[in-house]
Chains A and B, each alone.
Chain A
Amino acid sequence: MSQLTSEQIAAGEARFILPGENLEVVEGWGGASNSVAYVFRPSTFDEVRSVFELARQSGRTVAFRGAGRSYGDAALNAENAVLDLTRLNRILAWDPAGGTITLEPGVTIRQLWEYVLPHGWWPPVVPGTMYPTLGGCLAMNIHGKNNYREGPIGDHVTEFDLLLPNGDLKRCSRTENVELFDAAVGGFGILGCFTRITLRMKRIYSGLLNVEAITARSLDHMVEIFEQRTAGADYLVGWIDALAGGSHVGRGVIHAANYLAEGADPHPERTLRVESQQLPDRILGILPKSMLWRLMRPFMNNTGVRVVNGLKYHASALLDRGRVVRQSHVEFAFLLDYVPNWKQAYGTGGLIQYQSFIPREHAADVFRRQLVLAQEAGFPPYLAVFKRHRADRFLMTHGVDGYSLALDFRITPRNRRAIWDLAAQLDEIVLASGGRFYFAKDSTLQAQSVEQYLGSDAVERFMRLKRECDPEGILETNLYRRLFGARAGDQILFRGER
């Protein structure tokens, strides 16, 4: 490919082609959305810069992608370039005495905990799976089951470098480029590329947690238990049987977990070893885990899930009562990784997750209405997870002082339209209660809803920063076009559709 001058490009002579051998189908994690893109896997930041240049010359846009664990279209960029950053995964500095670590963005949560655990540290915030990259986690500003205590991951980051499309590096911290700091964290990869991230780990004294299971008879009961427990529990998460109806709506099981105090674990040197955290790779000692999703497959329908959920709820109500067990951090934090490829049980149409964040006082009411609406529409969610959150300072945040409910819907070619319509109905209830949404999970939102929950001021500030950091509009994703396309106006080259 020959180099073109900027005059030639402006004159429309930039008949630049991208390498066809880089074409790939890029999927959202849920498998319900995908598009074709030119995928580049740089192993140096100079290569990242040259992809910016290639995009500029060929009139294309660039999206960043970490491990692709966002459910929807956040790391897709139809017919444009996708920069897969997973090879930029070096740990640059680590202070085992103070617990501060500096990483490249492709380092995964798994790499991170395996690195720090033997020294008695644990990442302060982790998602429900250990495969995401730190770059992806910071771009979405992920939360853990301890969000009400620890805030999102951004609260533990002291500093990062952001690479802008013009090649400049911007150092951001609590004292330098603060506005950009607060916008790029949670800025879904639209302002620049994290190249170096420094964050603080959490001191732990054992590789185990004390975990207690508590059954909740209804949604009100669940909220009541959460409110009682937030002061005492380090982690709280609720599983809801989304098929239970009537007075049982919102029934489920809560898991409350606590760190072990110093001295409580007689053998911390043993439990803090990476090997003692590993998930077993066989179920009951015989069945390879990699087969498990096939066993789940026949139950992935309304009746199957109803039966399984019922069993799970009643078993827990009978057996778990007030019993405290010790679980490894990995077992507790990354339960979903326990069944590899579990999403394949949803079939080829994949799944979407609908997660909304509702202020405390409205949460029980809103979620009850959501569950009933989904049941009435004939699409009960097959997985529903409940968490406690707190508000934070980040510009595009999904955090509220309240609760979130994450609902997994199975998608088929036949129900797709109807699920999107259902989501639009659910959105209205969320917006009316002052709730928020989360780009990492989203597939269904509409632009005007985003403007409503974030507020026009926040969106305007974000778009101003976008123009400052990326005046040419090089950075785009399918999600950005879907939700901010109208705002970005002429900057958008084409409007991809659903």
Chain B
Amino acid sequence: MNLPWKHAIVVGASSGIGEAIARRLVRAGCRVALIARRADRLEAICAQLNREAGSEVAIAVGHDVHVHEEIPWLFQNCALRLGGLDAIFYAPGVLPRIAPDEYDTATDVETIQVNLLGAIAWLNQAALRFEKTGRGTIVGIGSIAGDRGRRGNPVYCTSKAALATYLESLRNRLGRRGVKVVTAKPGFIDTEMTHGLTGMIWLISADRAAELILRAARRGRTTAYIPERWRLVGLVVRMIPSFLFRRLNV
């Protein structure tokens, strides 16, 4: 795939969709900083990509998104080591398995930390930079789960809804400066996150999801359902009145 970016940061690149995005970016000729906690996995991915490319095009950066203080420096340092920055992808997310009657605040705070606050901490840096330079692409990975507050996982839904709203605000701030802000909303993707889950429909691979996300980002789409057929589901689900939605088993 032909991609317009030369330098990119992928947060959450040690597995799943983030890893697949990073691999595709590098293969399209982009220099990429891969960020996540499992540094050993990042090192292995980068080693392979650099071997293929014959030069240092991928760099591994160990980091936990809870550590907000180090993010401004890491952000600048990645841009320095890459020689520029045109795009950032935020993929980290946790989907804790919780019981229908479970209300564990510690788990919920953790979900908000990774899915939302980490995104804000990273993407604020990108927003400042792209606002100043009048260029750049910001991609956040939300979820179809953010389209409605469902029974199953209240705070996961909350985190993805809040992420979508945050991204919309960024888009409204930065759009007139020429910056693209893209919300990707996957349905079910075959990754570590969904291992063992049952009842998944329209399941696609992480690589296919990455391809669709990159295509949407290249076009500067505001919201992209991954794959696109989930858009209709999202539309229907959002139109169902609350008193009915409550009765549905979703």
| Chain A residues proximal to chain B, CB less than 8 Å | 15-18, 20-21, 23-25, 35-36, 60, 78-80, 493-497
Query: What chain A residues lie within 8 Å of B83 (beta carbons)?
Result: 35, 78-79, 494-497
**Minimum distance in angstroms from B7 CB to a CB of chain A:** 9
Q: Does B47 contact A (CB under 8 A)?
A: no
Evaluate contact between B84 and A23: CB separation under 8 angstroms.
Answer: no
Taking a contact as CB atoms under 8 Å apart, the answer to whether B73 and A17 are in contact is yes
Q: How far is the CA of A494 from the CA of B33 in the complex (A)?
A: 14
Q: How far is the CB of A350 from chain B (nearest CB, A)?
A: 15
- Residues of A near B85 (CB, < 8 A) are 36
Q: Are B73 and A16 in contact (CB under 8 A)?
A: yes
Q: Which residues of B contact A495 (CB under 8 A)?
A: 83
Smallest Cβ-Cβ distance to B69: which chain A residue:
A15
CB distance from A307 to the nearest CB of B (A): 35
| Cβ proximity bits B111-128 to A, threshold 8 Å, 1 near / 0 not | 000000000000001001
Shortest Cβ distance from residue B127 to the other chain A in the assembled complex, whole angstroms: 10
Q: Which of B81, B84, B132, B134 contacts A20 (CB 8 A)?
A: B132
Contact with A along B59-70 (1 / 0, CB 8 A): 000000000001
Q: Is there contact, CB below 8 Å, between B133 and A17?
A: no
Q: A18-B76, A20-B72, A494-B80 are in contact. List 8 more A-B contacts (CB 8 A).
A: A17-B76, A25-B133, A36-B79, A36-B85, A36-B129, A79-B76, A79-B83, A497-B83
If over half of A's interface residues share one DSSP class (helix, strand or loop), that class is named, otherwise mixed; here it is loop
Chain A: CB-nearest residue to B127: A20
Most A-side CB within 10 Å, residue of B83, B84, B133: B83
Could you show 21 A-B contacts with beta carbons less than 8 Å apart? A15-B73, A17-B73, A18-B76, A20-B125, A20-B132, A23-B128, A23-B129, A23-B133, A25-B133, A35-B83, A36-B79, A36-B85, A36-B129, A78-B84, A79-B76, A79-B80, A80-B80, A494-B81, A494-B83, A495-B83, A497-B6
Indicate whether B135 reaches chain A with its CB closer than 8 angstroms: yes
Contacts of A493 in B (CB 8 A): 80
Q: Are A17 and B72 in contact (CB-based, < 8 A)?
A: yes
CB closest residue in chain A, given B125: A20
Range class of the B interface residue count: 10 to 19
User: How far is B82's CA from A176's CA once the two chains are assembled, in angstroms?
Assistant: 42
Contact with A along B69-94 (1 / 0, CB 8 A): 01011001001111111000000000
Complex CA distance for A259 and B185, rounded to whole angstroms: 72
Determine the distance from Cα of A90 to Cα of B131 in the docked complex, in whole angstroms. 34
Q: A15-B70, A15-B73, A16-B73 are in contact. Are A25 and B80 (CB under 8 A)?
A: no
Closest to B78 in A: A79
User: Which residues of A are found within 8 Å of B79, using beta-carbon distances?
Assistant: 36, 79
B72 touches A23 (CB 8 A): no
In the docked arrangement, what's the CA distance between A168 and B73, Å?
30
Closest 6 CB pairs of A and B: A23-B132, A496-B83, A15-B73, A79-B80, A20-B128, A25-B133
Partner of B84, one of A15, A24, A36, A60: A36
Collect the chain A residues with CB atoms within 8 Å of residue B81's CB.
494
**What residues of chain A lie closer than 8 Å to B76, measured between beta carbons?**
17-18, 79
Determine the distance from Cα of A297 to Cα of B82 in the docked complex, in whole angstroms.
36
Interface centre among A17, A35, A60, A80 (most CB of B within 10 A): A17
Beta-carbon nearest neighbor of A15 in chain B: B73
Chain A contacts for B135, CB-based, 8 A:
25
Indicate the member of B76, B79, B82, B129 with the most A CB atoms within 10 Å: B76
- The B interface is mostly helix, strand or loop, or mixed, namely helix
Residues of B with C-beta under 8 A to A15: 70, 73
Do the beta carbons of A24 and B72 come within 8 Å of each other?
Answer: no
- Residue among A21, A36, A493 with max Cβ neighbours from chain B (10 Å): A36
- Could you tell me the distance between the alpha carbons of A23 and B128 in the complex, rounded to whole angstroms? 9
Cβ-closest chain B residue relative to A413:
B4
Chain A residues in 8 Å Cβ range of B134: 25
Q: Which residue of chain B has the shortest Cβ distance to A496 in the bound complex?
A: B83
Chain A residues in 8 Å Cβ range of B6: 497
Is A24 in contact with B132, judged by CB distance below 8 angstroms? yes
* Interface pair B132/A21, CB less than 8 Å apart: yes
Residue of A nearest to B4 (CB): A413
Nearest B residue (CB) for A498 = B6
Tell me, in angstroms, the Cα distance from A60 to B70 when the chains sit together. Answer: 18
Q: Tell me the smallest distance from the CB of B56 to a CB of chain A, in Å.
A: 9
- B residues 102-153 touching A (CB-CB < 8 Å): 125, 128-129, 132-135
Q: Which residues of A contact B72 (CB under 8 A)?
A: 17, 20
B213 to chain A, nearest CB (A): 24
How far, in Å, is A372 (CB) from chain B's closest CB? 33
Q: Assess whether B133 is in contact with A60, with CB atoms less than 8 Å apart.
A: no
Question: In the assembled complex, which residues on chain B have CB atoms less than 8 Å from the CB atom of A80?
Answer: 80
A21 vs B131: C-alpha distance in the bound complex, in angstroms?
Answer: 9
CA distance A60 to B76 in the complex (A): 11
For the complex, what is the distance from the CA of A24 to the CA of B134, rounded to whole Å? 9
Residues of chain B contacted by A79 (CB below 8 angstroms)? 76, 79-80, 82-84
Nearest opposing residue in chain A for B72, CB measure: A17
Complex: chain B residue closest to A60, CB-CB: B80
CB closest residue in chain A, given B130: A23
Residue of B nearest to A80 (CB): B80
Asked if B133 contacts A24 (CB within 8 A), the reply is yes
CB nearest to A35 among chain B residues: B84
List, in ascending order, chain A residues with CB within 8 A of B129's CB. Answer: 20, 23, 36
Q: Which residue of B lies closest to A16 (CB)?
A: B73
User: How far is it, in angstroms, between the C-alpha of A494 and the C-alpha of B81 when the chains are bound?
Assistant: 6
Given A15-B73, A17-B73, A20-B128, the answer on whether A36 and B133 have CB atoms closer than 8 Å is yes
Task: Report the separation of the CA atoms of residues A80 and B84 in the bound assembly, to the nearest whole angstrom.
Answer: 10
Nearest CB to that of A25 among chain B residues?
B133
Q: What residues on A are CB-neighbors of B84 within 8 Å?
A: 35-36, 78-79, 496
Instruction: Select from chain B the residue with minimum beta-carbon distance to A20.
Output: B128
Contacts of A25 in B (CB 8 A): 133-135
A80–chain B nearest beta-carbon distance, Å: 7
**Considering residues A16, A20, A25, A493, which has the most beta carbons from chain B within 10 angstroms of its beta carbon?**
A20
Per-residue interface assignment for chain B, residues 152 to 188, with 1 indicating a CB less than 8 Å from any chain A CB and 0 otherwise: 0000000000000000000000000000000000000
Distance between Cα atoms of A16 and B135 in the complex (Å): 25
Q: How far is the CA of A60 from the CA of B79 in the complex (A)?
A: 12
CB-nearest residue of chain A relative to B124? A20
Residue of B nearest to A497 (CB): B83
- When C-beta atoms are compared, the residue in chain B nearest to A59 turns out to be B80
Least CB separation from B74: chain A residue: A15
CB distance from B68 to the nearest CB of A (A): 13
Residues of B within 8 A of A496 (CB): 83-84
